[in-house]
Amino acid sequence: MLAGRTIILGVSGGIAAYKAIEVCRRLVDAGAHVVPVMTQGATRFVGEVTFSALASEPVQTSLWTERDPIPHTRLGQRADLVVVCPATARLIGDYAAGISHDLLTATLLATRAPVVLCPAMHTEMWEHPAVQENLATLRRRGVTVIDPAEGRLAGGDVGAGRLADPADIVAALDDRLGRLDQAADLEGLRVLVTAGGTREAIDPVRVITNRSSGKQGYALAERAQARGAKVTLITTVSRPLPPGIEVIEVASAADMEAAVMPRRDADVIIMAAAVADFRPASPAASKIKKGDEVPQIVLEPTHDFLVDLGRTKPEGQTLVGFAAETDDVVANARHKLERKHLDLIVANDVSAPGAGFEHDTNQVVIMDAAGVDHDVGLRDKRSIADAVLDAVVAWRSAGPRPHA
């Protein structure tokens, strides 16, 4: 995806600027046309000549150049992608606040191309609430952030804040451009996504719930919108989202059913939420007090409305379920797919390292009703979301097929 693309490589003033040299070399080797833009602070760490020699064009550093009166606008218009490596706390703050005091920040505000930030700073700075809030703001606006790694930092310290590996950065840029090429494949479709774990009341204070964070459902909603869909998200949790996604907040399985069923005519329904299988049969009307007797909680099954969705699925709709399993993952998921009349099911072993609930990564098997299984190895949940949406697009493109 990098070959023939124009990449603006922004370099800001941090010690990790020397690693941007390797990023530049790898991008050029991959066939990208790399235009380096350095801040004055960056030139204190790495010489301009180094980037000029390795990149596709000489370094640009100033808004005030005789050859182009509006260099930031021209750079922004030319770019297929803008990456800032490293992105310092100051640059992140300026970008989030819309402050353009130099060529790089002005270019960031002038471009409509995808933007990728690669933060690098000391652990104390990386963990500061102001930095994290600025990054959350930028993520909501659609900026991709490649989080730093843990390791040795300047001055001999060790901790989070080390710039991601150059090879990983270039791979992420290639992936981001690949997702850009997918941008219209869900154009015009109405996509309904559910997210989070439902909460079933024991009393007005206590609930029975599960460990679902909603991260995978939110990633699905975000990526579906980015690929052109009109998205409704029904969720039990609150997380940042880009503007334009309709959000409906619910709590219990019954609440989620009440929100989903009137919207059952969506073109695509993706049931990523961890809906409770059981609930207390008789929730207490007031808080249960701690006493000598341990209360006995009798459970009853919740209504499995996904079965209803499968039985009454309108022609042309794609229905996707999720199966969080700990053993016999594929067999259990296949049985669920068939029993609930689904088109696709996403199975994941929630006991596997780095996968499932609460993690930022996941690994899944995407199974379809024609009997085809597709293994997706461990990766971030946005990439998992794209793999699921790719399967949805492929299923819909193939037209009506008999179920296995």
- What are 192-204's pLDDT values in tens digits? 999 999 999 999 9
Least confident of 53-57, 95-99, 174-178, 393-397: 174-178
Question: In 210-263, which ranges are continuous DSSP H helix?
Answer: 215-226, 253-260
Nearest to 77 by CA among 8, 1, 172, 3: 8
**CA distances from residue 250 to 89, 194, 243, 255, 274 in whole angstroms, order as listed:** 36, 10, 19, 6, 13
Q: Does residue 13 have a pLDDT over 70?
A: yes
Residue 66's pLDDT is 63
**Cα separation of 389 and 227, whole Å?**
9
Rounded mean pLDDT, 365-372: 96
Structural domains in the chain, CATH included, are 6-181 (3.40.50.1950), 190-398 (3.40.50.10300)
Average pLDDT over residues 201-226: 94
Check residue 149 and give its pLDDT: 87
Alpha carbon distance 278, 297 (integer Å):
11
Q: Is the peptide bond before 114 cis (omega within 30 degrees of 0)?
A: no
Please spell the DSSP secondary structure of 180-214, one letter per residue.
HHTTTTTTT-EEEEEESB--EESSSS-EE-----S
**What are the residues whose beta carbons fall under 8 Å from the beta carbon of 56, sequence distance 6 or more?**
28, 32, 33, 34, 35
Looking at the predicted structure, is the pLDDT value of residue 151 above 90?
A: no
Please give the pLDDT value at position 38. 97
Handedness of CA 387, 388, 391, 392 (dihedral sign): negative
| Residue 380 in this model has a pLDDT that exceeds 80 | yes
Q: Provide the sign of the torsion angle of the four alpha carbons 398, 399, 401, 404, taken in this order.
A: positive
Residue 210 has pLDDT above 90, yes or no: yes
Q: For the CA atoms of 265, 344, 399, 339, what is the dihedral angle to 10 degrees?
A: -80
Q: How confident is the model at residue 324 (pLDDT cuts 50, 70, 90)?
A: very high
Above 80 in pLDDT, residue 243?
Answer: no
Rounded to whole angstroms, the Cα distance separating 204 from 37 reads: 57
- Hey, what are 75's tokens? 């750079």
Q: Determine the length of the chain.
A: 404
CA dihedral sign of residues 70, 12, 179, 323: negative
Residues annotated as catalytic are 210
Res. 182: pLDDT tops 80? no
- pLDDT greater than 90 at residue 121: yes
Q: Kindly report the average pLDDT of the chain as a whole number.
A: 92
What global pTM score does this model have? 0.64
Are residues 51 and 11 in contact, defined by beta-carbon separation less than 8 angstroms? yes
Helix axes 89-97, 129-140, angle to 10 degrees: 50
Task: Give me the pLDDT at residue 218, please.
Answer: 95
Give percent of the chain above pLDDT 90: 77
Q: Hey, how many other C-beta atoms are within 10 angstroms of the C-beta on 360?
A: 13
- Chain segment 63-110, per-residue pLDDT in tens: 887 677 788 999 999 999 999 999 999 999 999 999 999 999 999 999
Mean pLDDT to the nearest integer, 242-255: 93
Which pair of tokens denotes residue 308? 């209803």
